[in-house]
Chain A
Amino acid sequence: MTTSIVVDDVSKTFRYQYHRTLKQVLRPSRRTREAADPDGGPPTDGTFKALDGVSFEVQQGESIGLMGLNGSGKSTLLKLVSGVMRPDEGRVLTRGRISGLIATGAGFHNELTGRDNIYMNAAMLGMSKEETDAKFDDIAAFADVGRFLDTPVGNYSSGMFARLGFSVAVHVDCDIFIADEVLAVGDRPFKRKCLKRMKEIRESGITMFYVSHSAGSVKRMCDRAIVLEKGRVGFDGDVEEAIKFLHYDGEDEEPDAEEDERDDALANDI
Chain B
Amino acid sequence: MSQAGDTRPVEVRHDLAHVPLTPPSRTSGVLEVFRRRYLLRLMVRREIQARYAGTAFGLLWSYINPFTRFLTFYVVFGLLLGRGLGIQNFAIHLFAGMVLVNYFTETVTAGTRSLLSNKGVIGKMALPREMFPVASMLVSLWHAIPQLIILVIACVVTGVWGDGPLWVPDAVGMGAALLGFLLIMVYGTAFGLMFSCINVIFRDFQRIVQTFINMVPFTTPMMYPYWITFDRFPAFWHEVYLANPVAEAVQLIQRGFWYPTCEGPCAVWPNPNGDGTLVPAPEFADHLYTRGFIMLAVGLVLLVVGQWMFARLEKSIPERL
Contact = CB atoms under 8 A, between A and B. Distances in A.
Interface in B164-195: none
A106 interface: yes
Contacts of A109: 46, 50
B126 A84 contact: yes
A103 B24 contact: no
Contacts of B7: 204
A110 to B, nearest CB: 9
A79 B1 contact: no
B125 A85 contact: no
A180 B21 CA distance: 23
Contact of A96 (B14, B23, B25, B36): B14
Interface in B1-23: 1-3, 7, 9-12, 14, 16-17, 19-23
Interface residues of A, number: 51
Contacts of B121: 103, 106-107, 124
A204 B10 contact: yes
A170 B46 contact: no
A98 interface: yes
A98 B127 CA distance: 12
Contact of A84 (B14, B17, B125): B125
Interface stretch (A86-94, A214-222, A240-248, A250-258): A86-94
B120 interface: yes
A82 B39 contact: no
B243 interface: no
Interface in B192-227: 203
Contact of B46 (A19, A120, A174): A120
A56 to B, nearest CB: 14
Interface string A148-166: 0000100000000000000
Contact of B11 (A98, A129, A170, A205): A205
Nearest to B18: A2
Contact of B39 (A18, A80, A112, A124): A124
B: contact size bracket: 35 or more
Contacts, number: 129
Nearest to A79: B318
B126 A111 contact: no
A61 B126 CA distance: 22
Contacts of A125: 125
Nearest to B122: A84
B124 interface: yes
Contact of B38 (A6, A91, A106, A129): A129
Nearest to B201: A18
A2 B46 contact: no
Contacts of B53: 111-112, 152
B123 interface: yes
Contacts of A206: 1, 10
Contacts of A93: 21-24
A96 B38 CA distance: 20
Nearest to A4: B16
B69 to A, nearest CB: 26
A116 B45 CA distance: 10
Interface string A97-110: 11000110011010
Contacts of B42: 119-120, 123
Interface in A7-43: 14, 18-19
A98 B24 contact: yes
Nearest to A152: B53
Nearest to B52: A111
Nearest to A85: B318
A71 interface: no
A205 B19 contact: no
Contact of A103 (B16, B20, B125): B125
B38 A128 contact: yes
Tell which of A4, A18, A80 has the most Cβ of chain B within 10 Å.
A18
Interface string A55-94: 0000011000000000000000001111111100001111
B319 interface: yes
Contacts of A98: 24, 126
A189 to B, nearest CB: 20
B54 interface: yes
Contacts of A102: 124
A89 to B, nearest CB: 13
B49 interface: yes
Contacts of A83: 23-26, 126
8 contacts: A2-B16, A3-B21, A61-B11, A80-B24, A82-B24, A95-B20, A175-B14, A205-B11
| Nearest 5 Cβ contacts at the A-B interface | A83-B24, A205-B9, A83-B126, A111-B53, A106-B124
Interface of A: 2-4, 6, 14, 18-19, 60-61, 79-86, 91-98, 102-103, 106-107, 109, 111-112, 116, 119-120, 123-125, 128-129, 152, 170-171, 173-175, 200-201, 204-206
Given A3-B21, A84-B125, A106-B120, 17 more contacts: A19-B203, A79-B123, A84-B124, A84-B318, A86-B23, A86-B25, A92-B25, A94-B24, A106-B123, A109-B50, A120-B43, A123-B38, A123-B42, A128-B38, A201-B1, A204-B9, A205-B12
